[in-house]
Each structure stands twice: as C-alpha cells, then as structure tokens.
C-alpha cells in the first residue's frame, strides 16, 4: 500500500493541470481500494462551501457545479469535525443531504476524511460503495494517510491554478503568503529580475593557456570588486548600520586568501576560468545548503550571488539597459543583498523573494533601508508575475496579486497613515520617554556590528541595550584577534559616550554557529550554546573580555552581559574569568607604561620615576571594571533570582528565547511558529515575576526582544516595573510616542486586567481594544 500511496501522490504532483490531477487521483484511489466511487471536494472560503471538483462514480456533469455548504451534509460534517467519518448507510444518516444532480442514490457506505494543510481544511476526500457496510480499518488508514500527503501538494497546485485563472480574469485577486522579512507596505507593479548568468550552461573544460585564463579571472575579479565598492558607496549615503558588512564579506571572499585562491588553484590545474569558477562556487553552495543552521544556510545565497556576478564578468556580458518602471517591487527566485543595493535608488519600493528567510542578508538590508520584504513565497512561477500589479504586506507576510480597487484603497489608506504616523513621532523623538504623570523608562537600541549609529541616535535611542558581538565572529574564516575586537568595540562605545552600552559576550549555538567552529547537535537550542561554549573555551572568552575592557578605557560606558545563564555556578565562573582579565590587563598596562618611560631616560633619577608612577596611576585609573549582568532567557533562572542578584549588577530579559523555552516552540519552525506568542499569559506572568523579584533584590531590569517593540508590550513592561527596554531603531520613536501619551495609572490598569486573562487571543483582543480607547489604534499595525 505504501508504494501505491507514493505513486498516487507523485502522479498528482507532477500533473500540470489541477483538474487533470484531481480526476486521475480519484480514479487511482477508487482502483486501489476497490470501491465503487471516489470523490474530492475543495473548499471555497469566499462562498463558504465545498465544490465537487472530481469524481469517479458520481455524475460527470456535477463536477465543478455541485456545491455543499460548510455546515451541511456529510461532507460539511467531515470538515467540521476535522476527522474521518465512516458510515455503513449514509442515506439514513441525519446529516445526509440529497442532491439529485450527483446521482448517488445507489451508494450506501460512505467514508470521508478532511484534507488539512496548516490547520486549514482544503477539502474532503470521500469514497462510497453500493453495499451497506463500514469500510475497513485499512481502508480508513489508507484514505487518511493519502489525504495527509496530498495536503501540501494540493495547496501548491491550487495556488498555481488560481494564478493561471487570473491571466484570463483580470478582476481576480490572489492572496499568497510568505515570511515577513521586513515590515512595511508597498503597492506597485512587479519587476522580475532574472540572473545575469547561469552556471547550468557552463561546460567543464580545460585550457592549455593557464596564464591567459588566470588573467581573465583576475580582470573579472577586479571588475566585480569595483561593482561591490560602488554599490556599498551608494548605500552608505542612505544607511550606516551593520547590514553593509555583506559587501565587506564579498570583498574578503574575492581575496586570494579565500575563494579567489581556490579558483586560481583550479585554473593552474588546467581548468578554464569559467569551469574553475563553477567547480568552486557550486561546491560551496552545496556545503552551505547542507548546514541545518538557518543563518549559515542562508549564506549559500551570498555565495551564489557572488559567483553569478563573477561569471557575468568572465563572460564579458554586456548588460542590456533594463527598462525599469518608475516605481516597482523587485521579485526574484533568490533576492540577494546586492540586488537590493543595485535597485534601491532606482524606484525600488519592496522585495519579494521566492526563497530565503528573515535571516537572509537581503531581508536584513531591506529592514535597514525601510523597504517591506516578503521571503519564501512558494509555488510561484516568475514569468506569471512579471509586470503584474501587487501589494506586499511586510507585517503579515501577505502578497496580493492583481488587487482590486477596494483592496488598493484600503492599503493606500494604511500607507498614508504610516507616513503621517512617522512624521508625527519623529517630531518628538528627541524628547525623554516619560508618561504623562512623570514615570520614565529608558528606550535603548539593539545593535549588531560596529558601523556608525548616527541614524539611531537621531531616532531617540539613549544608548545600546544589547550589542550582539557574535555577528563579527560569523563573517570571518577564523576567530578575530584581540586587537581587531578592541577596535570594533571601541567604535561602538564611542558612539554613545554619555550613555551605557551593554555588550553581550559571544552567543553562538542554537540557530547561530561559526563556519570555522562547527557545532552539530540534534537539538541545538537545548545544547551547547551561549555561556556554555565560552566557559568551556576560556581562551575565547578571555580574549573577548580583554578586548571589551581595553576598548572601554577612558570611556567607561561599558556593561557586560552573559547569555544563556541557567545556574549560579556559570555566573561565578564567568565573573572569575572577567576579574582575571581585568587585573591582568591592568597590570599589563601599568607595566608597559613604566617600561616605555624608563627606556626614554636611562638616568634613574627621582623625577623620571615619579613621572612614570603618575602616568601609570592615571592609566590604571582609566581602566574601570564594568557592571556585569546576565540574560534571563532560561526559565530556570526565574527561581534563582535571589542568589543571582547577589552576584550581578543588573538583569536583562531576552524575551524571544524566554518565550521559546517557556512555550517549547521553535519560532523558526513554520509548523509550530503560530504557537510562538510573547503575549501568552504564561510569558507575561513570568515577566511580571521577574520584574517583582528584581525590584525586591534592588537590581535594575531591562528587556530586549520583540515584545519591547510592540506598543502594548512596552506599556505592560512599563507597568511591571522594567527600567529599560531595547529594540531596533525603527521602533524607538514610535514606542517613545506611545509611552508619552499614557499615564502610569492607565498602564497599571491594563496590566492588572491582562494578568487575569487565560489565552493569547483574549490578551491581544483586550490590548488592541485598550489602545483604540487611548487613541493609539494607529500603532497596532505599526508596532
């Protein structure tokens, strides 16, 4: 039976026309089970009914014509119950509805099962027989298994069918779904971007003229390097944050010490330049795509983009001037960061990528540029969407093809609201984050790399609440040296000299790993990650801490935070290492100053000695031991707050991971991602407990995570007693506006009621209702 199941599903998936696929499928099922009739009904959610799409046994003229209400008949009952229904005599059942046109009077036995995809009933698959009997357990198991396997294929086939339909019916609106990669809304026509070159057409050939092939490759590298430099320079006029690092990565890969060296070696072995390029690029793409880690897997897109640009320059393709619309939404099979950079100043309004995730560099860059983006839109044929009008909703991940006037008007209204809202909040971005009755809460920035923070400062962020140090470690081929880290960290600390900068020690593992430090685990989120790795490798930890301390010299705005803490012993060991690094560095600095001064004057007189001593003391005074805090991400720490408070200076909640661990939900897993909700009552109660315990033990408490960037979330955190919240720069002025337009008493009222609710749905409904009553309804979507 397993072979039969696979064959039926495979035939269904390979059929280009949905109707043909359905008709072939019901024929195969009827034959496999040896019954008298097999029928499939598909759901029409606009009409709220099921349509009989294909049948082998019922009247042929009923196909595409007969409809059954969601709430009527045996088909409706199967869908409502969302489970199989096995009836010996269907016509005697109380829910049976007689439909003369289908000609089923001869059938008695009925077995129906729902076809469900991502919690949505797509249709009902039913078999019938003239003899009155219950179908066997094997029959039922076969049908249920088939329906389960058909669900995904049917969802994709339905999308393709509707896209083809709308070519004939321009009034048809199709709604597709992807991953929300960057927030925002765009209304425009789609411009499909095809690759400049294609490796599939490159033959593997050798050449006897090695010097000539090396020269050709070097010229292509030079031209490609110039292209990336130009793109980076153009972008630098618009943004100056960590997303620009991708072009540094590309330049490093082009160096002879990286990909360039490997390609040259292949050429020296006799391969033609384009063949050598193909061999190396495709090797790296396959390696990256095999990695389970989502961040590193996305790097295959960067390698592919680099390879295609090199190939195009190798082939000396003259780029035809593309007739770009005045304004457009970019669509490609795999949108790369360089594509976004290339088109961002030519009318680009939004991005759609058929592959990728919100970890891709294209999504990161889109967020930095304020461009809405949707990633991972499946089952779309590029040629069908070129020059189609579309709306992309970067908040929800929805894509509307060929929107009607009503939908366009709705989203144009949302766009105008967004612009008005942005203009409004920016006028007060520089003002303190204070409620109407005088309660303040610090709004800080979440940051990654060391590039300038001028834009973020203009948005009203007082400092950096979370600086993720792991990203520089990822974009390299080896661990960065102490000197490299010191230079990087000092630039960050200097960006906010009057305010605190909280730097998190290396936090890899889970969904973040290093290409030169691979971690292979069955369950990485519960494995070797965060502080567990750096305590097992004190050499890595000490170098990083020394770099932080050295960068902080004479600035003194550094705070160090430890990630993934689950127990007191980890804190004790980490603090011991930090103290070791501090005293070693202090001694080293004083010794170096003394040696330098004494060597300048060989006469050991009293004056020289006193000068050296004073300078050494001044140097030592400039090196200050920073405050040390821990990330509260593992639920176990909630029950150890008293002991932890005796050891650290402050706490910071990592709400994303805490939510994930409390709810046992991998938020990167599309199958369960809908269960991930920071407004879950259990999460909110855990946060309230943490805030109360922090106050009881006299420790400052902050939160960095998506919850802080939600208007309702920020209000609840304020009422709970959080001292600081940190978020992406885009949300800083919006959250400050919200806090400035409420009172602490109103926030407490909202919190008290919220803590009595029992489901996330109740929480969201109540909080949205309260925001509307407070005149803050426009922030619900914007947050």
The DSSP secondary-structure symbol of 107 reads: -
What does the alpha-carbon distance between residue 458 and residue 292 come to, in Å, rounded to a whole number? 38
CA dihedral 664, 668, 672, 675 (to 10 degrees): 70
- Measured CA angle at 358 (ends 357, 360), to 5 deg: 70
By the 8 A CB rule, do 415 and 458 touch?
Answer: no
Q: What angle do CA 99, 102, 106 make, to 5 degrees?
A: 90
Report the 10 Å Cβ neighbour count for 468: 20
What is the full DSSP assignment across 456-517? HHHTT--SEEEEETHHHHHTSSSPPPHHHHHHHHHHHHHHSTTS-EEEEPP--BTTB-BTTB
Q: Exactly one of 193, 361, 433, 730 is catalytic; which is it?
A: 361
> Is the CA virtual torsion 20, 26, 31, 33 positive or negative?
positive
Q: For residue 349, which phi and psi values (nearest 5 degrees)? A: -110, -20
Strand pairing report for 49-56 and 328-332: unpaired
Return the closest-CA partner of residue 210 out of 169, 263, 289, 283. Answer: 263
Q: Which residue do the tokens 């802080």 mark?
A: 708
Active-site residue, from 37, 38, 433, 704: 704
Phi, psi of 569 (to 5 degrees): -60, -40
Return the ∠ at Cα 575 (arms to 571 and 579), rounded to 5°. 175
Contact 295, 359 (CB under 8 A): yes
SS3 content of the chain, % helix, strand, coil (to 5): 50, 15, 30
Residue 361 annotated to the active site: yes
Q: Which long-range contacts (CB under 8 A, 24 or more apart) does 96-99 make?
A: 97/68, 97/72, 97/73, 99/62, 99/66, 99/68
Q: Quick check: is 345 catalytic?
A: no
Distance (Å, rounded) from C-alpha 564 to C-alpha 506?
10
Catalytic positions? 361, 704
């Amino acid at each position: 039976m397993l072979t039969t199941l696979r064959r039926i599903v495979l035939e269904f998936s390979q059929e280009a026309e949905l109707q043909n696929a359905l008709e072939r499928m019901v024929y195969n099922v009827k034959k496999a089970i040896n019954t008298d009739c097999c029928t499939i009904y598909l759901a029409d959610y606009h009409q709220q009914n099921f349509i009989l799409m294909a049948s082998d046994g019922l009247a042929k003229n009923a196909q595409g014509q007969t409809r059954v209400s969601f709430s009527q008949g045996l088909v409706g009952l199967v869908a409502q119950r969302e489970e199989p229904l096995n009836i010996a005599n269907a016509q005697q059942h109380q829910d049976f509805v007689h439909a003369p046109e289908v000609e089923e009077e001869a059938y008695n036995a009925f077995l129906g099962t729902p076809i469900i995809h991502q919690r949505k009933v797509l249709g009902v698959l039913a078999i019938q027989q003239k003899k009155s009997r219950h179908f066997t357990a094997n029959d039922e198991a076969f049908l249920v298994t088939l329906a389960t396997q058909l669900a995904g294929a049917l969802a994709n086939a339905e999308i393709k069918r509707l896209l083809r339909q709308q070519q004939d019916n321009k009034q048809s609106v199709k709604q597709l779904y992807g991953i929300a990669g960057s927030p925002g809304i765009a209304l425009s026509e789609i411009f499909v971007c095809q690759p400049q070159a294609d490796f599939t057409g490159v033959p593997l050939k050798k050449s006897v003229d090695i010097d000539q092939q090396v020269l050709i490759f070097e010229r292509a590298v030079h031209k490609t390097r110039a292209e990336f430099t130009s793109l980076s320079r153009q972008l630098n006029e618009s943004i100056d944050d960590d997303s620009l690092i991708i072009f540094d990565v590309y330049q490093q890969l082009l160096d002879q010490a990286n990909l360039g060296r490997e390609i040259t070696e292949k050429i020296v072995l006799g391969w033609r330049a384009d063949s050598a390029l193909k061999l190396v690029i495709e090797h790296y793409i396959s390696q990256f795509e095999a990695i389970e880690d989502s961040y590193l897997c996305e790097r295959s897109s960067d390698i592919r983009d680099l390879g295609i640009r090199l190939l195009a320059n190798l082939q000396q393709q003259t780029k035809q001037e593309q007739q770009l619309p005045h304004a457009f939404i970019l669509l490609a099979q795999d949108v790369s960061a360089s594509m976004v950079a290339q088109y961002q100043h030519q009318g680009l309004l939004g991005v759609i990528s058929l592959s990728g995730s919100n970890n891709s560099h294209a999504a990161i860059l889109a967020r930095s540029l304020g461009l809405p983006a949707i990633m991972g839109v499946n089952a779309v044929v590029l040629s069908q969407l070129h020059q189609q009008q579309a709306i992309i909703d970067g908040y929800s991940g929805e894509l509307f093809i060929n929107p009607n006037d009503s939908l366009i008007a709705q989203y144009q209204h949302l766009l105008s609201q967004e612009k008005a809202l942005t203009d409004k909040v920016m006028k007060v971005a520089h003002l303190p984050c204070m409620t109407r009755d005088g309660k303040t809460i610090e709004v800080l920035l979440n940051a990654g790399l060391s590039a300038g923070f001028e834009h973020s400062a203009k948005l009203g962020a007082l400092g950096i609440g979370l600086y993720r140090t792991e990203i520089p470690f990822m974009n390299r081929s080896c661990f960065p040296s102490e000197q490299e880290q010191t230079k990087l960290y000092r630039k960050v600390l200097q960006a906010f000299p009057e305010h605190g900068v909280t730097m998190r020690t290396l936090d890899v593992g889970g969904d973040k790993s290093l290409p030169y430090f691979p971690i292979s685990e069955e369950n990485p989120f519960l494995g070797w990650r965060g502080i567990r790795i750096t305590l097992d490798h004190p050499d890595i930890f000490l170098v990083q801490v020394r770099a932080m301390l050295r960068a902080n010299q004479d600035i003194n705005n550094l705070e160090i935070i430890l990630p993934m803490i689950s127990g007191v012993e980890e804190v004790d060991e980490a603090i011991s290492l930090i103290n070791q690094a501090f005293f070693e560095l202090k001694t080293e600095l004083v010794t170096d100053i003394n040696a330098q001064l004494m060597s300048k004057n060989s006469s050991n007189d009293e004056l020289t000695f006193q000068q050296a001593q004073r300078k050494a003391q001044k140097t030592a005074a400039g090196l200050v031991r920073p405050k040390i805090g821990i990330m509260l991400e593992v639920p176990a720490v909630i029950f150890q707050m008293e002991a932890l408070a005796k050891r650290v200076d402050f706490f910071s909640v990592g709400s994303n991971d805490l939510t994930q661990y409390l709810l046992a939900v991998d938020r990167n897993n599309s199958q369960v991602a809908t269960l991930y909700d920071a407004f879950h009552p259990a999460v909110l109660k855990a946060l309230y407990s943490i805030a109360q315990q922090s106050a009881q033990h006299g420790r400052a408490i902050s939160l960095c995570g998506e919850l802080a960037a939600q208007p309702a979330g920020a209000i609840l955190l304020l009422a709970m007693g959080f001292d600081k919240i940190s978020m992406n720069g885009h949300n800083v002025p919006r959250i400050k506006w919200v806090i400035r337009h409420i009172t602490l008493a109103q926030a407490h009222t909202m919190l008290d009621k919220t803590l009595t609710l029992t489901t996330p749905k109740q929480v969201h409904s109540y909080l949205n209702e309260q925001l509307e009553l407070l005149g803050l309804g426009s922030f619900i979507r914007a947050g």
